[in-house]
A and B are shown apart, each in its own frame.
Chain A
Amino acid sequence: MAKEILIVTEIWNGDFRKISLEALSAGRHLADDTGAALTALVMGENVADKAEALAAHGADTVLVAENPGLASFRPCEFENLVTAVIKEKQPGIVIFGATRQGRELSAGVAARTKAGLAPECTGLFIEAGRLVATRPMYGGKVIATVDIEGEIQMVSIRPNVFEIKEAAGEGKIETLAVDLGEANVTLLEEKIEMATRVELTEADYIVSGGRGVGSEDFTVIENLARALGGAVGASRNAVDLGWRPQSDQVGQTGKVVSPKLYIACGISGAMQHIAGMSTSDVIVAINTDPDALIFKTSDYCIVEDLFEVVPAITAELEKG
């Protein structure tokens, strides 16, 4: 029997992130291909009651690590814990979500276990019993197929790329003895302001505004995002002008997003912006300039003043 597949899940605002279920579904698929058992690791404070739900997405075993010190992401402590679990369980494949947390954690754990890590993967398959991954590089301009050497193959996967599927696993719960180990970074203060907002990288619908919005009044953009049940994004210009927080920025020096629908309003379509959104399923661009570059990357192009057409789209949606 193949070595087990370990999914490192992530809790946010009291529940699993969507990416964790995406990773479980991807893991279930690989487990079925290789005959491996699928294990999910859950870390946090008061998370035991959540653990069972993972069986519905295919987990054969759920490892639960509970400790007040895991209430929010502390890189050193999480890394100590995950490294210990990997050293003990010796999984063949480990899957992380390529979130803010997952990126840092996977890199730290790969360093500590000297494992090969292919980050930001958008495709996973098994060939001759080993995992092979595909991942965008150079701002999405090429897709690489990569081999990961060594006993333990690690990957992180891009949010919103892998489908969540219900699947039955045994759902055996195992409680871990938690040793947080040593930390060389100390938390002084944490200010979380946006816990209840839809995280940009997880949103199915994103409406982004650029310099064309003209001011920090993003009401038209926000209204459309709300009507779609999505999130608001921004170009770098909109962020640099102080209209939106840095956390809203999409692109090379911002976030990489892959929603079902991306609507770019008043954004010119510079390569640095495209690098962050080109993997969206469907792209709509609204721009007054018929020659705007953004139209080259869009499925639907609307040449129009955004202040005219965006409220009309919102109204049309609200009509149902």
Chain B
Amino acid sequence: MDIIVLMKQVPDTEAPVEISASADRLETEDLKWAINPYDEFALEEALLIKEAREDVTVTVISVGPDRVAEAIRVAYAMGVDNAIHINDEFEEEAFAATDAHTTAAILSKVLDDTPYDLIISGNRGVDDDNYQVPAFVARMRDIPMINMVTRQEIQGNEIICDQAVDGGIATVKAALPALITANKGMNEPRYPAFRAIMKARKQKVDERELSDIGLAPADLVPKVKIRSLAYPPERADGKLVNGANAAQKAKELIRLLKEEANVI
């Protein structure tokens, strides 16, 4: 069976971000990048299915500029079989100009001639928090989607999943091909060794330009456009709550929360 993992490279959470002079994108030059944490759960789950069965091929698809090759190398080192990189370097001067509609259109177009029985993606990208690309891909392919999955089981040509819902868990099933999105709790992603990452350099990446998949930039019309980026208002320096002992600090905190912050 063919499993596709939709993977996105995102700015490393721990790295500070800097807004460009044009104020509509991030300064990407010194930015550190990482695989979207939810996509690591997706990758891990695909690999666990592969290890439990005989017949599985795992292909990762990623849309992004040249630097995505780095994330793909990590995915190879983890154990995926193939990688397709849709290089959208043409978009570089308008970083993040592609929105969920355009990203999903690119991914869906690739899926036109890539076989799949199961698509796994993260339930959200932690960069733009869009929560849309997997939903759009599933609708474009007209396949069932199960969101925020914490456990899956393939039975014949059906998939049964536990998914996080408000206040608990729902168990649902759908026919394959289907798309599921990974939630935290699904598994513990493996960390590839540095050596494996170096070795993965030699593995072949199927790199395609938009034109290779029959799309032109003009076909991609983003519907949500970033006008400007700004830093959030800065929090004033934190106030140290003083007191000779814990009881006094507690008393002082309550006073501050009542009289100064007006929150209780």
Residue numbers of A with Cβ under 8 A of B are: 12, 72-73, 75-76, 99-101, 103-104, 106-108, 110-112, 114-120, 132, 135-150, 184-195, 197, 199, 205, 228, 246-247, 249, 252-254, 256, 260-261, 270-272, 275, 278-279, 281-285, 295-305, 308-309, 312-313, 315-317
Contact = CB atoms under 8 A, between A and B. Distances in A.
A309 B250 contact: yes
B17 A142 contact: yes
Given A138-B17, A142-B17, A317-B254, A191 B168 contact: yes
Given A142-B230, A185-B145, A282 B263 contact: yes
Interface string B212-228: 00000000011111111
Given A147-B224, A186-B173, A299 B236 contact: yes
A110 to B, nearest CB: 7
What range describes how many residues of B lie at the interface? 35 or more
Contact of B249 (A141, A295, A304): A304
A120 B231 CA distance: 17
The dominant DSSP class at the B interface is mixed
Contacts of B221: 149
Given A100-B164, A104-B135, A301 B222 contact: no
A72 B165 CA distance: 10
B96 to A, nearest CB: 8
B156 interface: no
A305 B241 CA distance: 13
B147 A75 contact: yes
Contacts of B232: 136, 140-143, 278-279
B168 A313 contact: no
Contacts of A275: 13, 126
A184 B168 contact: no
B246 interface: yes
A320 B148 CA distance: 42
Report whether over half of chain A's contact residues are helix, strand or loop; otherwise say mixed. Answer: mixed
A40 B184 CA distance: 33
Contacts, number: 244
Given A119-B132, A142-B230, A281-B263, A185 B144 contact: yes
Given A138-B26, A184-B175, A270-B14, 19 more contacts: A12-B166, A108-B139, A110-B132, A118-B224, A136-B129, A138-B17, A138-B128, A142-B231, A143-B229, A143-B231, A190-B169, A254-B184, A261-B261, A284-B253, A295-B238, A297-B238, A300-B241, A300-B257, A301-B241
B240 A301 contact: yes
Contacts of A76: 144
A108 B136 CA distance: 7
Interface in B6-37: 11, 13-14, 16-17, 19, 26, 37
Contacts of B261: 261, 282, 299-300
14 contacts: A138-B128, A142-B229, A145-B228, A146-B225, A146-B226, A147-B224, A148-B223, A190-B171, A199-B166, A246-B164, A299-B261, A309-B250, A313-B254, A315-B250
B166 A103 contact: no
A144 B229 contact: yes
B1 interface: no
